[in-house]
A = this chain, B = another copy of it.
Amino acid sequence: MTDRKVNVKPAEGKLGVLIPGLGAVATTFVAGVEAAKRQLGAPIGSLTQMGRIRLGKRTENRNPLIHEFVPLANLSDIVWGAWDLHGQNAYEVACRSRVLEQGLLDKIRKPLEAIEPMKAVFDPVFVKNLQGVHVKSGPTKMDLARQVMADIDAFVARTGVSRVVVLWCGSTETFTPVSDVHRTLAAFEAGLSESHPEIAPSMIYAYAALKKGIPYLNGAPNLTVDAPALLELSRANAAPIGGKDFKTGQTLMKTIIAPGLKARMLGVEGWFSTNILGNLDGKVLDDPGSFKTKEESKLSVLDTIFNGELYPQLYGEIHHKVRINYYPPRGDNKESWDNIDIVGWMGYPMQIKINFLCRDSILAAPVCLDLVLFTDLAQRCGWSGVQEWLSFYWKSPQTGPGLAPIHDLFQQQNKLENTLRYIMGETLITNLGLDYYMDEV
């Protein structure tokens, strides 16, 4: 064990979680935490709640629960708030979403009903398929940002929370490339004041949060805190940021299987991925335009893991296709079918087919919880800006300038766990272990 290098502030007081976008994912997250607090269900899928971490040598048998090892906020200290353009409370939304059983929802009806969303910042230009009925209005985008900051202040005053994390669970916004208005904080603030058309609602939330020194997490694939202006604000105000796009379903499976094939140096000629899903998300993505944005994010995963430039013979030309199909009979569930054409010794072809019958919100909810708790920890560690050690949770992880993202789930896991060990002054795990066999090592 080495000396403690990080001075972590304790998790004193309540932790506010403020969510723009109170839909299926958000309410499954909130309802699950409320159920777990009452022992009505287990927060399965959450590393912070269920996971253990190996410390020291294998022979020491030290495997504490993560939430007993690092100082995380307790579930019982979480206080909820949200913005949403429909105006329904969390109970109504959860019932409508048909993810969790009605029986369970009814047992936690009260705390869910108490979550009445604040009016949303909304702009139909950025999400074509939705209509806002519970939205803010104001003369400029800067004015809207100030309204959001006022919401946050009121929330803090009302609830007495000592810390806040903002977590975007809203819809995917239209693709917006980085332009001048996003490049510096000064340009961005000028843009807010003149209601620049390339400033999306999500950026207004992010600005408001970071301006107040509050961490911001982006669960969707649109541009937000990866805009340089907001990264600058994040570092200036000591607020960690995270993004983007929760890693669930088919992409999760890809970042599990692709590293396995790569580890064994099996070649890949093609990877065909199709998805059928019947919820609103499916309907939105059935549109070729919206799909394009999602596709970009999904396609890059394999390129980065396989690295065809370094391995032209094995991965130089992968035919990677991703299809998303709106298919109402699947309802809120989601199903993927992948066909992988691999190549072995002397070029012999083999095939792997994977059929995953999954549930999107069920996979996303524990990711929300872990991100909130770990990001709060990061802030108490004194860290700001990009938190690459949380790449584990993102479909398209943000990195520092000049650093290629790591998509391999197992390198991400190693990074996350060694970061926790580092924070607590424990020896990093290298899996070397020659000392079990030799004296000299």
| Chain A positions near chain B (C-beta within 8 angstroms) | 5, 28, 32, 35, 41-47, 50-52, 58-59, 63, 100, 104, 252-253, 255-257, 259-261, 263-267, 269-270, 272, 274, 276, 310-311, 313-314, 319, 321, 323, 325, 327-330, 335, 337, 339, 341, 343-348, 350-359, 361-363, 365-366, 383, 385-386, 388-389, 392, 400, 402-404, 406, 409-411, 413-415, 418-419, 422, 428-434, 436-438, 440-441
Q: How far apart sit A269 and B335, CA to CA, in the bound complex (Å)?
A: 16
Q: How far apart sit A437 and B234, CA to CA, in the bound complex (Å)?
A: 13
CB-based contact A346/B362 at 8 Å: yes
Q: How far apart sit A413 and B413, CA to CA, in the bound complex (Å)?
A: 14
CB-based contact A388/B437 at 8 Å: yes
CB-based contact B430/A418 at 8 Å: yes
CB-based contact B432/A419 at 8 Å: yes
Q: How far apart sit A356 and B340, CA to CA, in the bound complex (Å)?
A: 9
Q: Knowing A44-B345, A366-B345 touch, does A383 contact B430 (C-beta < 8 A)?
A: no
Number of copies: 4
Give every chain B residue within 8 A of A436 (Cβ-Cβ).
Answer: 388, 400, 403
A-B contacts, 5 listed (Cβ < 8 Å) = A42-B313, A52-B311, A256-B261, A269-B329, A319-B328
- Chain B proximity of A340: nearest CB distance (Å): 9
CB-based contact B345/A28 at 8 Å: yes
Q: How far apart sit A420 and B161, CA to CA, in the bound complex (Å)?
A: 50
Q: Knowing A45-B265, A276-B272 touch, does A433 contact B409 (C-beta < 8 A)?
A: no
10 shortest A-B CB distances, which residue pairs? A256-B260, A270-B329, A410-B410, A41-B346, A415-B431, A269-B329, A329-B341, A353-B355, A428-B430, A344-B362
Give every chain B residue within 8 A of A400 (Cβ-Cβ).
Answer: 436-437
Q: How far apart sit A422 and B325, CA to CA, in the bound complex (Å)?
A: 47
CB-based contact A348/B362 at 8 Å: yes
- Partner of A433 from B255, B357, B415, B429 at Cβ < 8 Å: B415
Q: How far apart sit A67 and B354, CA to CA, in the bound complex (Å)?
A: 34
Q: How far apart sit A348 and B410, CA to CA, in the bound complex (Å)?
A: 24
- If A44-B314, A100-B348 are given as contacts, then 15 extra A-B residue pairs at C-beta distance below 8 Å, sorted by A number, are A43-B345, A58-B404, A59-B402, A63-B310, A252-B264, A257-B260, A260-B409, A263-B413, A329-B341, A348-B359, A353-B354, A354-B354, A355-B355, A388-B433, A400-B437
Residue among A41, A42, A440 with most chain B CB within 10 A: A42
- Chain B proximity of A266: nearest CB distance (Å): 6
Which B-chain residue is minimally distant from A369 (CB atoms)? B345
CB-based contact B428/A45 at 8 Å: no
Q: How far apart sit A302 and B414, CA to CA, in the bound complex (Å)?
A: 20
CB-based contact A345/B32 at 8 Å: yes
CB-based contact A344/B359 at 8 Å: yes
CB-based contact B274/A346 at 8 Å: no
CB-based contact B365/A345 at 8 Å: yes
Q: How far apart sit A52 and B263, CA to CA, in the bound complex (Å)?
A: 10
- Partner of A343 from B44, B344, B386, B438 at Cβ < 8 Å: B44
Q: Knowing A329-B341, A400-B436 touch, does A100 contact B346 (C-beta < 8 A)?
A: yes
Q: Knowing A327-B319, A354-B353 touch, does A346 contact B42 (C-beta < 8 A)?
A: yes
- Chain B proximity of A258: nearest CB distance (Å): 9
CB-based contact A422/B415 at 8 Å: no
- Chain B proximity of A326: nearest CB distance (Å): 8
Q: How far apart sit A58 and B391, CA to CA, in the bound complex (Å)?
A: 15
Residue among A345, A354, A428 with most chain B CB within 10 A: A345
- Partner of A347 from B41, B252, B328, B414 at Cβ < 8 Å: B41
